[in-house]
Structure formats: structure tokens, C-alpha cells
Structure 1
Amino acid sequence: MLLEHLIFKNGPKPEAPPLEIAPGRVTIFVGPNNGGKSSALRDITNEFVFNQAHDQHVVSEVRVANITRERAEQKISKFRVPEVGETPERRIFMRRNMGRQEVNEQYLLDNLLNQFNQRPRDQNYNWQYISQHLLSMFALNLTGESRLGLVNQSQAQRLIDPAQTTIAALFQDDALRHALSDIIYDSFQMHLVIDATDMGSFAYALSETRPPAEIERAFTAEAIEFFRNSHALSASSDGTKAFVGVLSEVIAGDVEVLIIDEPEAFLHPGLAYTLGRQIWLKSVQTSSFSLRRTARIS
């Protein structure tokens, strides 16, 4: 498990010692409004993305497991973009929703990773650099405010580059796209497709019929007519957009720690149940190398 242990600042009762938990594959935070659940999720995210300890509000300590060099190299290889004149001190990464980054890979793997794996960890070393350029690759936080934006039209990209958005990753991967479309069909009796006929962007759409394999990523007259008759997801209800957006990250987000604040937001009970079931199935199906752990509130 990548996320080993959480220590909260307070206990379940005023007189109780600080609460400590070892998160499982799926961890659910339940409590009253303004009880600190969203703050706890932000504190966990902070460890992976920013690592600014003074900003922790509810969770006093987030223990992340050691990461082997092999595991780190396997992860960053998915984002590395070959470039003329590159050196180990200057690699170019293309990250989902983060764009182009210049990273000192040698410093990251030979120096910071070794220090990160030492116990106890030295709190004075460059935590922010390893969080920004390595740990953040393993985690994703879906807030209540951001989930509707997950299905927005996305700028197209060169398909030979690492996918910069989840919709681009789905466009490139037939198996993932079909798996997601099957779940959407079971829920809405509509097939989820990705419309690239704008030529400059990717956009989700819904169709009464499943596109033939030979036109799904084509620009033939038949393909253009198919997408002309589809329905833009942007015109759907907030519930449909939220469901597709969160589920797309569950299916294709490629992270080990998935943090979802209010996963049931905008969803009627049937869709909330389906989403919860898919989150659990994904956590069970993935190997110990890629456990998907979801923290949520109800």
C-alpha cells in the first residue's frame, strides 16, 4: 500500500488520543457537515502534491511507503518525452493536466529518492521537488468543484506524445475506452464516444448506437456522419457529466491513490451505487503494485 498510515491531530472524542488509521484499498470518511472531512482529504493530497507541512489542518502525519527506483522509473517513463540534446539533468515530462515540465531526473532518482526512502526521513531535504515531480504522479484529488470540468472539451495533441488528459488517454486506448463505454451504456443505454472531428479538440459524446471499430477513430464521411448524429455530453445533466467524469478517472486515471470528495454529488442513488461499485471493483482488480485507494465522505 502506497499510503501506509494516517495520524490525525485529534481523536474521535475531546479526551481521546489522536486518531490513527492504516488506510485500506477503499477508505470512507463519514461525518457531519463541517466535520473536517474535506480538510482531511486536502491534507492527504498536500503530501503528494505540495508537501507543505505547515498547511496541514486535520491530519498531522501522512506516511507514504518507500518507492523503489524501479517503480519510480516505471512511473516516470510514461511521461518522458524524448528530445534532442536531453541529458539526465534535463528531461522533459508531459503530465496530464500539467503540461510540459523540465525535470532534473538524475537529481530526482539518485539523490532525492534515496533520501525519501531513508527512515526516519529528513524533513529538511527538498520535499517539494520530489512531491511535484514524482509523488504527484501517484495521486489524484477530485474535488466537488472540479468533477464537472473533467468532461470539458480538451485540446487535441500529438498521439505519439504521452497523454496529457484522461480523454486523450482514452482516445488512444481501445480497451479502456470500451470498458468505460460499457458501464455508461448499462447506466444510460447510450454509448460513450470521443469526438475528434473538430480536428483541434477531443470531446465526449453519447450515441444510441455503438460505432463500428473501423470508424471510431476515423475521419471518413461515414465517421463524420456518425458523430454528427451523436449528442455532445456537454449538453447533458450535471449528474451525467459528474458520473462520466469521475468514472473516466477511475477507469483511466492511472494513479495509485485516488481521492474523491463527495463522490455522490450530483448523482441519484442508482448512479451513486454504480460509481461506488466500480471504485471497489477497480481496487480489487488492480495488483499490489498499483492499488487504487479512494477516500470519500458520505
Structure 2
Amino acid sequence: MNQTWREEFSSSYGVERPGIADGDADRFGVGVGQVCMKEGSSFIPSRTGVTVIVGGNNSGKSTLLREIRQELTGIGYASPGNLTQSIQSLEKIVDGTPEDMLAWIVDRTQVVHGSYGPEIQLREGAEIKPIDLMRLFPSEIFLAETIESKIVHASNGEDRFRAVYETMQFDPYMSRPNEPIQYLQDNDELLNEISQLFQKVFGRPLELDLLNYQLNLRVGKTDMETPRLNDIPPEYREAMAALPPVSTQGDGVKSFMAQVLSVITGAYPVVLLDEPEAFLHPPQARVLGEYLGNFASAQGAQVIAATHDKNFLVGLLESSADVTVVRLTRDNGCPSASQLNSMELRAVWNNPILKYSNLLEGLFHQVVILAESETDCGFFRAVLDEMNIDNDFIPKGDILFVPTNGKSSMFKLAMTLRAVSVPVVAVTDIDILNDQRVLSNLVESVGSVWTDKMKSDLNIVSSAVKDKSKNNISVDEILNTLNSIFGDRRAEEFDSDMKREFNAHLRSKDSYWKTVKANGIGAFRGEQLSAISRLVKSLAEAGVVVVQEGELERLAPAVVERKSPGWLLAALEQGAHRGETAQRHVARILCAAQRALDRVAAPGVTPAEES
């Protein structure tokens, strides 16, 4: 607010409201606090950052965004709290004082002279006295539609293109911009920023056409010096007219540009975006995510976006913003919300092994299968593709296989996914039974309980292996085995988890575990066979599927290659993925996946406890 209006406000309203013009716009802020769902769960959106709403089709993402706006502003229904399907209550956050709010509003609107003094023109034909506006503070400010339009930006697939269509120029002496393109009219710095971003994404710059009293954003450059307004040569008009308007481009171009323009020019405190990646190719969705994340971080804005796209989420994580994920699940009723906060998500993203895996895609699938390596995942996927599964079962496309690069990382990934209620199954070689701590952590991380019965059976198996262990082993043989397991993980940190896994393999080399990996549960007899059979069954019911044949390679016994890059290709060429042994193993994985889904649908009851 400039000094003239501060003086006029003080002169006209200072007696009734001393200090009316003393506010600081930077102290004013609004936002969405805790959102309580009707089903009983809740989440807290990132205050100055991006909250990503994910979930399957019909999980309620778009509905949740609409209801957040409704509960915040009352737009859509007669009053907040009416007829919502998902939200029970929503906390409104308002920072600053009424005077700070007034300063913030005047920075974004026009001040006009009314009958009794200066008034704020929220839009043409809608003026309000500053003193009346301040009476709406704090919570009532959201209920005035003309004020809400300055505070909340809501975009969906139906209306997002509007921002790139031509509009009338505004008079900088008499009014303020109302349309996104109008903000570019007298702001070369902002226009240059938008043009550089467009060139980065689409390979061409942008130019603002100011001719004919219209504002039109065009693709390309005229390569001519901009003439004076009172001396525009025909050549310049022809060159400008030859540039295609952004509004005539494809849906991807229009969607990207309209969202960027709307967000950056409006400087909204709260931005609600429904499927911002719609119409965009993966690289464009990634750039859009990074741009919106950096905007939220720099402006202190609160962005809440519903998305189906991993690339958009990756772009956000490559920005400087705090990013939190809320996953919606629905089981024939109101949706439930589970939250993965920014610190937890960053911990995953900062792990170089996980960053370049497909872990984040798990947020968009019905169930995730964790396996030890890319080879395991590829083989299991091939087996699944060959199987005929019941129509009532999980669709094959909704099952995601994620490599964990060993057993020790599995429980971390499982806990990350379970934090947002993604059903998880872990599949490992049989030698995981050699480390009770890793095994018990894994059982707990997939959402089940490590029981006394599991521990008892594991003790029987461990005692049997110990009794049959051999000590006549060479150092060279030990080193070769460890190198085959850890050779491609040399860059990883040798932390406590890695140390336990290392020691477990070291112990297994000079023990009967070598025989167990080669023969599976068939390496045991009598009571020990009964114990390991019970243990493997109870682990599968809990969500940890052990290769009963010993290790992955035993599912393709005719393949000569072992622990080599060529094993998967050889196994597929020989048709091992169609074999009975491999299909039986993957059938056990699918049964565990169905139980994992059931655990998410009915938390608090685990198959391990039922059995």
C-alpha cells in the first residue's frame, strides 16, 4: 500500500479504528491446518510447501480437494460442513492482524473513492469499506467470495486453459491486473522468467503481443526491435501476427503454461491443483513439479495437489520445497487418509539406491512386492504375466515389484510404504532365517506381528543348522561368496544393518546354510522339517514369502548360469517362468498380497494372530 492510501485510510477511518493503515502485508498469511476425515483418520498439510494427494481411481482425491475448498471458503455449498463426503472438519489458519490483512488485500486490489471515503474494489461492482473488511477477520474472510478469489487458487482439468487466452490490456493508472496475462503487461522480469521456462520445456521462447488493445501470449520471437506505440510499422504487425498464440497450441502446452501463469502471477497463499500433470508428457510433468515446488518454497505458499503421476512427484522432490504425501484408500465407504511427512520422504529420496529405483511408483499401485534384486523382480514379473488369475483378484497392472538391493534394506522400504497404507509383501531367499533380528524387523515392517511361535520354530531351525555346520572352509571361498553378494554394493554405507547382513552371510558360508540355500526346506528332516515348514507358512501369512526351494536360481534348476547377469535371460529363454515350481512360488506371493490388502482394509488384525 503506498503512502497516499495509508494517509487517506487514517484520515477517513482512523477515529473509529486507530492504526488502521499500520499493517504489514508480510505478516499476513492463511492456510489449511489439520484435516479430519469422517472415517476417523486425519492429516496435516505442509504449511509452506506441497502436499501430494495420491490413491487409486475412485479413492476420493478430487472430492477431497473440492471439500477442502468448500470447508475453507463455503464455495460450493451454503455453508462449510454441509454435505461433505470425506471431511469431518478442517482447521483454518490465519496469521497476522486485521491491519496486516488489510495491507495484504490492498496490495492485490484497487482502492477507489466511495461516497464516504476510500474503498477496496475486490472486483468491478464489488467495493467494500476497509473497516467492514476488517470485521471479517479472522475466519469470516474466507466466506466472502471476492476475497476468497485472492486467497485460494483452485484449478482442475475443466478450467485450467482459461489463463492463456487473450484478454484486454489494463490501465495501470486506473486499475490493477485481474487476469494472469495482465501481470506480464508491465513486468519484463516476470515475462522473461516465463519465457525462459517455456523455452526450457518446449524449446521456444514467448513474446507478449500488446497490439490492438489485446494481450496475447505468442510462441516465438519477432526478431525485430519493439517499436514505439505511436509508430508501429506494418512489418512488425505482420511478424507478430505470424507467431502462433499459446491458446492455439496443444492441450499439453496450454495446460502447462496456464497453471504456471495462474500460480506465479496470483501469488496465492493456498493453491489447490487437481491432476496438474494432465495432458503433459513425463518430462514436462517433472519440470512442472519442480517449478511449483520452488514457487511454494520461495513464496511460502501452501500447495495441495492430487496426482496419479510419479514424474510430477519426482519433480517436487527435486525442488527446495517441503513435500508430504497423503494416500487415500477407500473400502466401500468414506476414504481413509495416511500421511508420509516430509522428513520421512526425504530420507528415502536421499538414499541413492532408492532414489533411482521405482519405489515411489508404489504410491500409485494396489500392492508392492519387495524383492532382493532387479533380477528377482524381472523373473517374478515374467512368471506373473504367464499366470491366469481370478478376475476377482488384484489386477496384474496394480502389482508393482520393487528391488531392494539386499535383505537389510527391505524393512526400511516396507515401513515407508506402510506409513501411507500401501500393502507390502517381502520376498527373500531362505537364508534370511539366519538372522532373527532382520527377519523379525521385516515381519513387523509389513504390518504383522513377530510371534513367540515364529521365534520357537526359528530356534529349532537354527539349532539344526548349528549342529550340522562345518568348519573346514577356506578363506578364499569365504571372500568369493561375500564378493558375489556385496560386490555391486561397494558404494553403500557400512552401517549397522549392512554389518548384520554381512556377518550373517559370513556365518552362513562356514555353516550348513550353504546346503540349505541349495536344497531349501528339503535340507531338513523330522522335527526340523516340521518346524521350518510351519515357520515358512506363518511368515507367508504375515507377508514375508521365503523361497522354499532355497534361492531364486532354484526356481529355474535347468539354467547353468548362477549369480550372473545372464541368468534372467537364460531362465526366460528356457521357459523357466512357465514352470510349475516358479508359478507355485509366485502363487504364494499373490496369496500373501491379497492378505496384505486385507490387513490394510482391517487394521489391527493380522493373519499371524488369526492363525
Q: Which amino acid aligns with 1:69?
A: P
Deviation per CA, 1:30-61, whole angstroms, max 9, x where unpaired?
Answer: 01112111111111222444362214332222
| Cα distance change on mapping 1:210 and 1:134 into 2, 3 Å | farther
Contact residue 45 and residue 140 of structure 1 kept, 8 A? no
Stretch of structure 1 that moved more, 268-277 or 100-109:
100-109
User: Which residue of the other structure, out of 154, 157, 163, is the alignment partner of 2:170?
Assistant: 157
Determine if the alignment matches structure 1 residue 78 to structure 2 residue 107. yes
Q: Residue 138 of structure 1 aligns with which residue?
A: 151
Could you tell me how far apart the structure 2 residues matched to 1:153 and 1:173 are? 17
The Cα RMSD (Å) is 2.7
> Secondary structure of 1:267's match?
coil
Could you tell me how far apart the structure 2 residues matched to 1:195 and 1:30 are? 39
Q: Which amino acid aligns with 2:44?
A: I
Q: Residue 184 of structure 2 aligns with which residue?
A: 170
Deviation per CA, 1:55-74, whole angstroms, max 9, x where unpaired?
Answer: 43322222121232243122
Identity across aligned pairs (percent)? 22
Determine if the alignment matches structure 1 residue 87 to structure 2 residue 110. no
Q: Residue 44 of structure 2 aligns with which residue?
A: 21
Which structure 1 residue ranges, 5 or more long, are not aligned? 12-16, 117-126
| Cα distance change on mapping 1:251 and 1:87 into 2, 3 Å | same
User: Which residue of the other structure, out of 178, 203, 226, is the alignment partner of 1:189?
Assistant: 203
Q: Residue 282 of structure 1 aligns with which residue?
A: 295
| Deviation of 1:28 (Å) | 0.3
Question: TM-score under structure 2 normalisation?
Answer: 0.41
Question: Number of aligned pairs?
Answer: 272
| Cα distance change on mapping 1:268 and 1:130 into 2, 3 Å | same
Could you tell me how far apart the structure 1 residues matched to 2:83 and 2:44 are? 21
Question: TM-score under structure 1 normalisation?
Answer: 0.80
Contact residue 30 and residue 297 of structure 1 kept, 8 A? yes
| Cα distance change on mapping 1:211 and 1:48 into 2, 3 Å | farther
Contact residue 92 and residue 103 of structure 1 kept, 8 A? yes
Q: Which amino acid aligns with 2:209?
A: D
Could you tell me how far apart the structure 1 residues matched to 2:228 and 2:303 are? 32
Q: Which amino acid aligns with 2:132?
A: Y
Deviation per CA, 1:239-270, whole angstroms, max 9, x where unpaired?
Answer: 11111101112322220111110001011111
- Would you identify which runs of 4 or more consecutive aligned residues in structure 1 move more than 6 Å? 216-219
> Secondary structure of 2:198's match?
helix
Determine if the alignment matches structure 1 residue 7 to structure 2 residue 35. yes
| Cα distance change on mapping 1:284 and 1:227 into 2, 3 Å | same
Could you tell me how far apart the structure 1 residues matched to 2:271 and 2:58 are? 22
Could you tell me how far apart the structure 2 residues matched to 1:285 and 1:216 are? 36
- Aligned ranges 1:39-78 → 2 under 5 Å: 39-50=63-74, 52-53=79-80, 54-67=82-95, 68-78=97-107
Stretch of structure 1 that moved more, 135-144 or 177-186:
135-144
- Aligned ranges 1:80-119 → 2 under 5 Å: 80-87=109-116, 91-95=119-123, 99-109=124-134, 111-113=135-137, 116=139
Contact residue 26 and residue 295 of structure 1 kept, 8 A? yes
Determine if the alignment matches structure 1 residue 297 to structure 2 residue 297. no
> Secondary structure of 2:158's match?
coil
Q: Residue 121 of structure 1 aligns with which residue?
A: none
| Structure having greater relative contact order (Cα 8 Å, sep ≥ 6) | 1
Contact residue 75 and residue 137 of structure 1 kept, 8 A? no
Deviation per CA, 1:116-150, whole angstroms, max 9, x where unpaired?
Answer: 3xxxxxxxxxx477442434421100111111222
> Secondary structure of 1:244's match?
helix
Which structure 2 residue ranges, 5 or more long, are not aligned? 1-28, 309-611
> Secondary structure of 2:157's match?
coil
Contact residue 147 and residue 246 of structure 1 kept, 8 A? yes
User: Which residue of the other structure, out of 245, 249, 258, is the alignment partner of 2:271?
Assistant: 258
Q: Which amino acid aligns with 1:104?
A: K
- Aligned ranges 1:121-132 → 2 under 5 Å: 127=140, 130-132=143-145
Could you tell me how far apart the structure 2 residues matched to 1:217 and 1:271 are? 36
Contact residue 113 and residue 130 of structure 1 kept, 8 A? no
Could you tell me how far apart the structure 1 residues matched to 2:229 and 2:83 are? 45
Q: Residue 232 of structure 1 aligns with which residue?
A: 245
Stretch of structure 1 that moved more, 61-70 or 185-194:
61-70
Deviation per CA, 1:66-106, whole angstroms, max 9, x where unpaired?
Answer: 23224312221134434344436x724144xxx44122331
Q: Residue 220 of structure 1 aligns with which residue?
A: 232
Could you tell me how far apart the structure 2 residues matched to 1:176 and 1:297 are? 27
| Cα distance change on mapping 1:208 and 1:37 into 2, 3 Å | same
> Secondary structure of 2:208's match?
strand
| Cα distance change on mapping 1:83 and 1:197 into 2, 3 Å | same
| Cα distance change on mapping 1:19 and 1:129 into 2, 3 Å | closer
Could you tell me how far apart the structure 2 residues matched to 1:282 and 1:129 are? 23
Contact residue 122 and residue 128 of structure 2 kept, 8 A? no
